[in-house]
């Protein structure tokens, strides 16, 4: 049995069954990092990728990379990139961890990847987010730490599942950061499920904006139809924000954590009637009634 477990972890076979909530140490790249192919700025790259001022730039469509350690931010200008079973580590001066640049470029798929910012950001050196896409995004079983925002979603049809976002680089209160952001959707369904968004606070103790913010601050922008299921949301001025332009939301089985000093509340819902299904949600050990 120990040999089998070692083999599973070394080659990053999933040790977290589908449908179970993520947590620290359960997702991301779980194998031996010295087994990975390392890419430092200037190193030879696979066909379809080039170095661009220290950024790992993907130009080819349908680019696939597995079993890697990239010591730089990754930006794809080609459609439908896929990154699996690896590590992206970003240092000072970087903006993103992994991002797909440009709307209408298919799907950015990131699975079993650890994205971390080292060293921690300082004022004037703040990473925007760790995983994002201007088009569709599918992020599964990823571990995110040290970024400004965690995971950023803008397109209907996207999925963020079994990801762990923790130890964000929340340096100053003006950052207004979120664990997961869903700011668009084009009317399509978006799934945010089985994720673990850990606590965050700035140096002066100010809470982040939200563990998950979904929708807009004003009544404008594309319609968002989210499914928010079986997540843990540890902190935020409001731990879960369901903003304007949200319709038909399904919100089930979430744990909104405990309310801490400086926080306004566990839940904020901007528009009555935006939630179609509400069940099994709790915070502070108490059931939360549908707003």
Strands (E), 3-148: 37-39, 49-52, 55-58, 64-70, 74-76, 82-90, 96-100, 107-117, 129-133, 136-140, 143-145
Nearest C-alpha neighbor of 282 from the set 255, 264, 258, 260: 255
Q: Do 121 and 149 form a contact (C-beta atoms < 8 A)? A: no
The arithmetic mean of pLDDT across residues 158-163, rounded, is 98
pLDDT digits (tens, 9 = 90+) for 182-226: 998 787 899 999 999 999 888 788 899 999 999 999 998 889 999
In this predicted structure, the answer to whether residue 10 has a pLDDT above a threshold of 90 is no
Output the CA–CA distances (angstroms, integers) from residue 80 to 1, 44, 104, 262, in the order listed: 38, 22, 10, 41
Give the side-chain half-sphere CA count within 13 A for 161.
Answer: 16
Encoded tokens for 184:
């668009």
User: What's the predicted TM-score (pTM) here?
Assistant: 0.93
| pLDDT tens figures, 29-67 | 999 999 999 999 999 999 999 999 999 999 999 999 999
Can you give the CATH number for the domain in which 52 is found? 2.160.20
CA 137/CA 151 separation, integer angstroms:
10
Domain enclosing residue 238, as ranges: 2-287
pLDDT band at 3, cuts 50/70/90? very low
Within 10 angstroms of residue 34's Cβ, the number of other Cβ atoms is: 7
Domain count, the chain: 1
Count the neighbouring beta carbons within 10 Å of the beta carbon of residue 9.
13
Separation between Cα atoms, residue 22 and residue 130, nearest integer Å: 17
CA angle 120, 153, 57 (to 5 degrees): 65
What is the reported pLDDT for 6?
A: 38
pLDDT at 8: 42
């Amino acid at each position: 049995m120990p040999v089998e477990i070692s083999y599973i972890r070394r080659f990053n076979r999933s040790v977290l069954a589908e449908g179970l909530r993520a947590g620290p140490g359960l997702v991301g790249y779980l194998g031996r990092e010295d087994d990975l192919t390392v890419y430092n700025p200037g190193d030879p790259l696979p066909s379809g990728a080039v170095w661009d001022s220290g950024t790992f730039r993907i130009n080819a469509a349908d680019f696939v990379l597995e079993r890697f350690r990239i010591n730089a931010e990754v930006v794809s200008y080609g459609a439908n990139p896929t990154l699996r079973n690896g590590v992206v580590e970003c240092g000072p001066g970087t903006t993103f961890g992994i991002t797909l640049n440009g709307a209408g470029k298919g799907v950015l798929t990131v699975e079993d990847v650890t994205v971390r910012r080292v060293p921690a950001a300082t004022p004037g050196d703040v990473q925007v987010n760790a995983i994002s896409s201007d088009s569709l995004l599918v992020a599964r079983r990823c571990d995110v730490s040290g970024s400004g925002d965690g995971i950023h979603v803008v397109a209907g049809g996207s999925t963020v599942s079994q990801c762990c976002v923790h130890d964000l680089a929340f340096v100053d209160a003006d950052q207004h950061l979120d664990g997961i952001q869903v700011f668009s959707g084009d009317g399509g369904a978006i799934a945010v499920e089985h994720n673990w968004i850990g606590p965050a606070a700035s140096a002066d103790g100010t809470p982040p904006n939200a563990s998950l913010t979904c929708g807009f601050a004003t009544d404008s922008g594309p319609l968002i139809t989210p499914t928010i299921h079986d997540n843990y949301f540890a902190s935020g001025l409001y731990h879960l924000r369901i903003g304007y332009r949200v319709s038909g939301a399904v919100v089930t089985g979430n744990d909104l954590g405990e309310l801490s000093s400086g926080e306004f509340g566990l839940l904020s819902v901007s528009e009555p009637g935006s939630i179609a299904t509400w069940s099994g949600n709790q915070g502070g050990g108490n059931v939360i009634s549908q707003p």
